[in-house]
Structure 1
Amino acid sequence: MTIKGLVTDSQKHQVSLLPWQRSAIDLFDHKLKDTDRPFPCIPATQGHSLGQFCYGFVSDPRSSESTKDLAGLLRDYSAKYRDLGKYTSLIVFFETPEELKTQYTVEEFEELFWKQLNGLGELDECEWPENIPIDPHDPVWEFCFNQEKLFMYCGTPAHTNRLSRNFPYFVLAITPRWVLEEFNANPHLAGKIKTKIRERIEKYDSIPVHPDLNSYGKEDNYEWKQYFLHDDDTSLSKCPFHRFLGKFGFKKKDRF
């Protein structure tokens, strides 16, 4: 299956890629296939092994062009993801110059992450889904784009303690809520897998599981805090996402 602007799993070793793009794909494959040090997120390893992932490449995350390209990838992916399988995710690799890899801190990468999400909000041509609150501090809030509800995972070269969030390139793994609903359709099985995931995280990372990791919909859960985890147990007190101004709704002309 070919999707405009995206590379599917079956295409990733057939298409012509730039050296950094090939490097990112190869390193990602190794991370997800590593049996000596299994990656903690079991559904992610399943999606990867089943060939249900899509991959996209964008430029330096400091550039506005990267956000425009990311928006295009998300629009293309949202039109096709249900056909790819119930473990699908969109993996987006950003071109990450050496100065970012060696000089940027976790906090600086965090700023880039939220700059990307705020930029996507500016470029979103669709209204916010009616069943999702606009306040990120509501336990049912989650990031939405093109009316798709999405879970965001960010990995960076700066994470050293939390290796489950470490990757040589700035990377996003974007999972539709539909995939997570399919996963949770059998609560008993999902609960067992979540327990196993936490056990894997404890072995994979050099520090304990971050206290912000939680389950969607629980009263003490905030999805935005899980998108970008610090390399220690701290977290931001306020969500940096600013698509909405005030509590009275979406103002397309007044944002930012």
Structure 2
Amino acid sequence: MLYTKEDIENHTNNLELWQHEAYEQFSDMMNQRETPYPCVPGIQGFMKNMLRFGFVDDPRTNDSTNQLARLLKDYGEISRDTGNYASLVIFCDTRALLEEQTTIDGYEDLFWNTLNETHKKDPAPWPEDIPKDPEDPSWEFCFNGEAYFAFCATPAHEIRNSRFFPFLLLAFQPRWVFDEINDSTPFGRKIKKVIRKRLVEYDGIPTHPALKWYGQKDNHEWKQYFLKDDESTLPKCPFTSLKNKWKSLRP
């Protein structure tokens, strides 16, 4: 089910221990003042109860992608009513992965497998206004007709603090949120400078070269979904199910 901030904070007895711990860690991260979390819209969304939360099982299981698909479907139907800084935050049951000391590369594989398997459960066709090829600068992950910027943080990150979280965390930010936050608006340019400055201070290293604006000619959204501790990226997008289908249909 989808939770609001108040749902979780007022009904903690309804949560499993790991779920309660995951939310508390997230709340602490959003409320940190000494070195604030870089994503200003994310903090605003949290403070103003615009975020929605969900929990899924061990992400290696089929149940987890069934749960994620249901959460994304339900969220897409109400996201526009939650506020201008909307996002869906998913906490994954990471206990077994922690015991196995899963690496960043392992989490990266798991992240892309999760997106691919969840996509297979999409009840709606791919939106006509979103390119089907991940190499297109305007491509974005879609589910049930909605486009989302997908974000992943893991317990294995040790250097890039903005991508560290004690549990595997997935966040899905609706594409429409960026209508007022982009390079074509004064507000968008201003907030970008603030976020980039805070990102460098938070991580203690330069920003990843893959971080660019949506639609920018040399931009690839998929490269920003999962950032490693270093500046490397995968040679090609692992989201292949649609890409391969699209290529096979070309004349």
When normalised by structure 2's length, the TM-score is 0.94
Equivalent pair of 1:139/1:221 in contact (CA under 8 Å): yes
Equivalent pair of 1:96/1:170 in contact (CA under 8 Å): yes
Match of 2:216 in 1: 218
Residue by residue over 1:124-149, the C-alpha shift from the partner in whole angstroms, topping out at 9 and shown as x without a partner, is 12111111111100111111110100
Equivalent pair of 1:101/1:158 in contact (CA under 8 Å): no
Distance in 1, matches of 2:81 and 2:183, equals: 18
% identical aligned pairs: 45
Equivalent pair of 2:181/2:189 in contact (CA under 8 Å): no
Match of 1:7 in 2: 3
What amino acid sits opposite 1:247 in the alignment? W
**Residue among 16, 19, 38 paired with 1:18:** 16
Match of 1:231 in 2: 229
What amino acid sits opposite 2:216 in the alignment? K
- 2:126 corresponds to 1:128: yes
- What is the aligned-residue RMSD (CA, Å)? 1.5
Distance in 1, matches of 2:84 and 2:67, equals: 25
Distance in 2, matches of 1:54 and 1:185, equals: 27
Distance in 2, matches of 1:205 and 1:102, equals: 26
How big is the shift at 1:110?
0.3
Equivalent pair of 1:101/1:157 in contact (CA under 8 Å): no
When normalised by structure 1's length, the TM-score is 0.92
Between the two proteins, the alignment pairs up a number of residues equal to: 246
Q: How does 1:49-198 map to 2 (within 5 A)?
A: 49-100=47-98, 103-184=101-182, 187-198=185-196
Residue by residue over 1:35-83, the C-alpha shift from the partner in whole angstroms, topping out at 9 and shown as x without a partner, is 0110001111111111111000000111111011000000010010111
Distance in 1, matches of 2:126 and 2:210, equals: 25
Equivalent pair of 1:207/1:232 in contact (CA under 8 Å): no
Distance in 2, matches of 1:38 and 1:102, equals: 31
How big is the shift at 1:189?
1.4
Residue by residue over 1:100-137, the C-alpha shift from the partner in whole angstroms, topping out at 9 and shown as x without a partner, is 36611111000000011001111112111111111100
Equivalent pair of 1:81/1:88 in contact (CA under 8 Å): yes
Name the structure with the higher helix share.
2
